[in-house]
Amino acid sequence: MQKTTHLTSAHPRYDIRIFIKMCRSLASAGHDVSLVVADGLPDETKDRVKIYGVKKEKNRLLRILKSPRSVYKKALLLGADIYHLHDPELLPIGLKLKKKGKKVIFDSHEDYPAQILSKPYLNKFLLKIISKIYSLYQQRTLMKFDLIITATPYIMKKISQWHPVVANINNYPLLEEFTGILRLPMQKDDAYSVCYVGGISEIRGIKEMVKAMEHCVADVSLKLAGDFISTVLRDKIVKYNGWKKVEELGFLNRESVSKLFTVSLAGLVILKPTMNYLDSLPIKMFEYMAAGLPVIASNFPIWKEILDGNKCGICVDPNNPKEIALAIDFIINNSEQAFEMGKNGKKAVYEKYNWNIEKEKLLKMYHGLIQ
């Protein structure tokens, strides 16, 4: 049996893509799977996956500089046949593993050169230089790896221009998490609320979502499930008039998120039009659909194609709070149409946007790698 080890220095041990989906799927298919994660927590075995914690560094810079070394040491001790890397800072250890005759996979969760360009704390000229340098280094390094996995078709298209073996594994929902969610048409006396689930930051539209609440004609609340990126941002946002109609829930576990979906009329995913988001496929959009929620989303072409094509949501200008408010009011004032949108979205997820389909692609890629 081939031994496979997943490596991450930046993600939590129960990361949805890495552990919940990939590691568990491989283990359930009979693979000998380990996961090395730099979180400083004790080793454990969960769902047939052996998890090893190495030292957690105090800050991001130390993580980038030191964590790869700790991960590499543990990776060597495990003596796997295949190593699956999930962070760009681990690329150098991927080269070391290749020199030792190992099969190496890199999983590109993001379009990293584009992500660098979206950083707000450096000037644009410097960002372009850094992005270009990283892009050249990434291409030179990944050409020596056996397989590149991407999280969106757009990233796959870019990398496949210069790497011969690229597979796209979309981060679609696990159907079993949504089978128990039952949505009924909205009744006249129901309390109206829409939800947002995820990290809370300006680039993810928190300012516009809260301002939209000021413009909603309907008596509706916004349930926020997630943590603010900083206390400074939160202190700024709570001063908006729309905050009076916000219910701050903080970070919720998966079970609590499912419960939130049952009491929400729509799910919001109002990301800003940055290079890193325009061609992304955010998991929350598909989770809203899987739960039977109409989706109110940014009017990016690829998102519009999905929502309009499946008649399961409304696309809006992410920089226009009034347009977001109009979409929320439409959902509330057109309950039957909104209910149909929810049904359509759920049907689309069960037919084509789900992890069961992606899992088979993952297993096929691994099977091809070990032949």
Predicted structure pTM score: 0.91
pLDDT of residue 343: 95
- 179 and 154 share one domain: no
Shared domain for 146 and 198, answered yes or no, is: no
The strand pairing partners of 74, in sequence order, are: none
pLDDT at 95: 98
Q: Write out the two tokens for 201.
A: 């930051």
Q: How many angstroms separate the CA atoms of 8 and 74, rounded?
A: 12
Indicate whether 62 and 147 sit together in one domain.
Answer: yes
Cα angle 85-87-93, degrees, rounded to a multiple of 5: 60
CATH number of the domain residue 249 falls in: 3.40.50.2000
The amino acid that residue 233 corresponds to is L
Closest-CA residue to 296 (of 162, 216, 195, 224): 195
Residue 284, sorted as left (phi over 0), alpha (psi -120 to 50) or beta, turns out to be: alpha
* 237 lies in the same domain as 148: no
Show the domain range for 25: 3-172+355-369
Q: Which of 68, 70, 87, 124 is nearest to 11 (CA)?
A: 87
Distance, CA of 159 to CA of 149 (rounded, Å): 10
Q: How many domains, in total, are found in the chain?
A: 2
Query: What average pLDDT does the segment 143-172 reach?
Result: 96
**pLDDT digit string, tens, across residues 321-350:** 999 999 999 999 999 999 999 999 999 999
pLDDT, one tens digit per residue, over 59-83 is 988 999 999 999 999 999 999 999 9
pLDDT bucket at 190, cuts 50 / 70 / 90: low
- Cα gap 320→193, rounded to integer Å: 20
Residues 345 and 254 in one domain: yes
- The DSSP line for 124-190 is HHHHHHHHHHHHHHHHHHHTTSSEEEESSHHHHHHHTTT-S-EEE---PPPGGGTTT----PPPTTP
Residues 143 and 185 in one domain: no
Q: What is the 8-class DSSP label of residue 56?
A: P
Q: Give the chain's mean pLDDT.
A: 94
Q: Which residue bears the tokens 């609340």?
A: 221
When mean pLDDT is compared across 44-58, 167-181, 221-235, the lowest value belongs to 167-181
Provide the Cα torsion 115, 117, 120, 122; round to 10°.
130
Residue type, 264: S
Q: Are residues 161 and 182 in the same domain?
A: no
Domain identity same for 140 and 201: no
Residues 199 and 345 in one domain: yes
Q: What's the CA gap between 147 and 151, in Å, rounded? A: 13
Q: Are 74 and 36 in contact (CB under 8 A)?
A: yes
3-class DSSP state of 245: helix
Whole-number Cα distances in Å, 273 to 182, 303, 316: 33, 12, 12
Is residue 51 domain-shared with residue 125, that is, in the same domain?
Answer: yes
Q: What is the mean pLDDT of residues 97-113?
A: 96
Contact predicate 341/322, CB 8 Å:
no
Examine the domain organization and report whether 135 and 179 are in the same domain.
no
Task: Show Cβ contacts of residue 29 under 8 Å, excluding neighbours closer than 6 positions.
Answer: 363
On whether both 51 and 39 belong to a single domain, the answer is yes
